[in-house]
Structure 1
Amino acid sequence: MKKVALLATALAMVTTGSAFAADMAVKAKKAPPVVAFDPWDVAFGAAIMSDYVFRGVTQSNHKPSVAAYFEPRYNVTKDLQLYVGVSAESISFPNRAAAEVDIYGGIRPTFGAFAFDIGVWGYLYPGGSCADGTSLTGGIPGGGVCPVDTNTIFIANGNVLKKDVSFFEVYGKFNYTVNDNWAFGVTEYYTPSFLNSGAWGNYTSVTAKWTAPSTIFGASGVGMYASGEFGRQWFGTTDAFYGTSPLAAGPGYVGPFFPNGIHYADYNTWNIGVGFTYKVFTLDLRYSDTNLSKANCNAFTSDFTARFSSSYSSINPSGVGSNWCGATGIAKLSFDLTAMSNLK
């Protein structure tokens, strides 16, 4: 009798175990399908700003400007990206160039918290005319500075600017992300001829950014950051197109003069601001300034709105001063789509 009971118990255990095993097989989660790595990505966006400021100097005569960009990307791996891009900004230059069109490309390697960006950036300014502030006998604009076979724009304050001020820079950027809130960076740009002036240019800056915790505005989806930059721009000597002579000297200025070209004044620039983000939109409010004097700013920018103000320097004998390099506030509203998934 005991043997029969033991046999029945064993059969029950085997049956129960088998049923449990079968049940486990039914309830087990299936492995998720392997997602193929898509190396292609794209970023694009647009912005409207109250002033287009580049390294502390307005490019839009302190007037509003619009911008847009398109940037295809190829991710070799998750830590190595190749990219090319094109962007355009509305400007207000003395030579009446139609716009600024930028063409650029480079490579972005990442090593953990360290991110690098190395590339070439071309600044194109199509549609310009040679600008001159002197006149030939009979009051014909062109005073020998601009070639005689071009349409010359007369600038009443005496400033001059070449027809084509396009140039390119090679650059390198380094960024270190400390944590979810803090990031610091260094940038370096070099060109053999800034604004096609013949003067080499070198720009170096340090940057910092603090990103607020995502809970700062609760569940609203609004984010916030604060950021700043301090930079130094160095220059070489221009070609003779921008040389100075006694013929352009203001009252009382006796020299020196540099007929073969001027050494643009090196300067510091800085900006600081806060930004608010919501989905793909960003509102950035920023203060920007430089330590360039009005005289050296005029020599550098050829500002067509500059007025005589006894603003003299060795490279600005005319006494005309410009406010294009002074303190300014900038409000910028932009949207950015930075993943291929946004297009699907």
Structure 2
Amino acid sequence: MKKLALLATALAMVSGSALAADMAVKAVKAPPPAPFDPWDVAFGSALMNDYVFRGVTQSNHKPSVAAYFEPRYNINKDLQLYVGASGESISFPNRAAAEIDIYGGIRPTVGMFAFDFGVWGYIYPGGTCFNAAAVPGSGIPGSDASCAVSPFGNSDPVTGGLPINGNFAKKNASFYEGYAKVNVTLNDQFSIGANEYYSPNFLNLGAWGNYASITGKWTAPSTTFGTSGVGMYVSGEFGRQWLGTSDRFYGTGPGTVFAAGIPEPSYNTWNLGVGFTYKVFTLDLRYSDTNLSKGACNAFTSDFTARVATAGSVSLINPGGFESNWCGATGIAKLSADLTAVSNLK
């Protein structure tokens, strides 16, 4: 009888242990995954002391504000479609009111490689034509229909050259580019990238444009600033902007070697900066520069502030010898906020 009692007790203990183990497993069972929502929206804004695009100021070295809105559709975790719109305040030679960007593309991810393919349109509304030789029917070399009729069929006021230096500027500077980009995440701290952009008519100069660059970024460990939530990174870019020959609008005058248009100056550009992040905010402090001379910069940009004419800057594409500081070394401080509906609004 004692043996039977001991056996019954042992069986009860084994059964109780199994039941307890089963209950423990059930207690920590994960809930079913949330249904996959493919839609997301990214949006944000920025304030900067200078809006610099590929080494050239777009705001006459003055402050600029920007904002963007980008709906996204995730086919799966490794393939995203997107469209977007953004706007920046600018200061262009043609007195355009702002820059409005419309873009869209696809972002595939393959392991450590994040690709981005798309088309970007740059629109500059509200411009004025500056070229006294471009009066329709004048027969003067350098005349161009863009100074008579806008792409939307509205009459286009014609003036002389820009005040002070006589540079020319079209009313319509809008253009588009196709692009291909890749970012390679090497580990938690280091990433590198490559970018390629091509336009058949860069800034509506009549010249094709091709921009290629390489990038690098180091992200500091999350413990760098303790538990403050502040992050830090260091990043840089080196690129080259190749440009073709402009149309007759920018010709150097009747009987000159470049009466039919000037070979726009190709150039190198680079930047290096440090950034600090906190929640949705980023403060980016950056140095930017190019290898363009002040004379070549004036020929490329038609800078309305170029004033000093020197013999050292006279060239076949810059016969007036005026100089521009729009392409030189500059420091950029940019404060931005970037959010997504899924991450920040739910």
Q: Same-fold call, TM > 0.5?
A: yes
Deviates more, 1:32-41 or 1:99-108: 32-41
Structure 1 residue corresponding to 2:228, chosen from 191, 215, 220: 220
**1:60/1:133 CA distance change after superposition, 3 Å:** farther
- In our comparison, the structure showing a higher alpha carbon Rg is 1
**1:89/1:270 CA distance change after superposition, 3 Å:** same
In the alignment, which residue of structure 1 is the partner of 2:334?
Answer: 332
Contact 1:186–1:206 (CA<8 Å) still a contact in 2?
A: yes
**1:133/1:325 CA distance change after superposition, 3 Å:** farther
**1:134/1:306 CA distance change after superposition, 3 Å:** farther
In the alignment, which residue of structure 1 is the partner of 2:152?
Answer: none
By how many angstroms is 1:125 displaced?
0.6
**1:336/1:134 CA distance change after superposition, 3 Å:** same
Structure 1 residue corresponding to 2:249, chosen from 229, 241, 255: 241
Contact 2:55–2:328 (CA<8 Å) still a contact in 1?
A: yes
| One-letter identity of the residue aligned with 1:239 | D
Superposed CA offset, 1:133-152 (max 9, x none)? 6799xxxxxx9663385223
SS, match of residue 307 in structure 1: coil
Superposed CA offset, 1:240-268 (max 9, x none)? 1111116xxxxxxxx95311111101101
| One-letter identity of the residue aligned with 1:110 | T
Equivalent-residue separation in structure 2 for 1:288 and 1:339 (angstroms): 33
Equivalent-residue separation in structure 1 for 2:298 and 2:60 (angstroms): 13
For 1:33-182, list aligned pairs within 5 A.
33-132=32-131, 146-147=147-148, 149-154=155-160, 155-156=162-163, 157-182=165-190
**What are the ranges of 5 or more consecutive residues in structure 2 without an aligned counterpart?**
136-141, 150-154
TM-score (norm 1): 0.90
**1:24/1:80 CA distance change after superposition, 3 Å:** same
| One-letter identity of the residue aligned with 1:299 | A
For 1:183-222, list aligned pairs within 5 A.
183-222=191-230
Contact 1:134–1:158 (CA<8 Å) still a contact in 2?
A: no
| One-letter identity of the residue aligned with 1:298 | N
By how many angstroms is 1:91 displaced?
0.2
CA RMSD of aligned residues (A): 1.9
SS, match of residue 263 in structure 1: coil
Paired residue total: 327
Equivalent-residue separation in structure 2 for 1:153 and 1:67 (angstroms): 30
| One-letter identity of the residue aligned with 2:33 | V
For 1:12-23, list aligned pairs within 5 A.
12-23=9-20
SS, match of residue 94 in structure 2: coil
Contact 1:49–1:332 (CA<8 Å) still a contact in 2?
A: yes
SS, match of residue 264 in structure 2: coil
Equivalent-residue separation in structure 2 for 1:31 and 1:289 (angstroms): 54
SS, match of residue 7 in structure 1: helix
By how many angstroms is 1:21 displaced?
2.8
Structure 1 residue corresponding to 2:325, chosen from 309, 323, 332: 323
SS, match of residue 309 in structure 1: coil
TM-score (norm 2): 0.90
Contact 1:171–1:189 (CA<8 Å) still a contact in 2?
A: yes
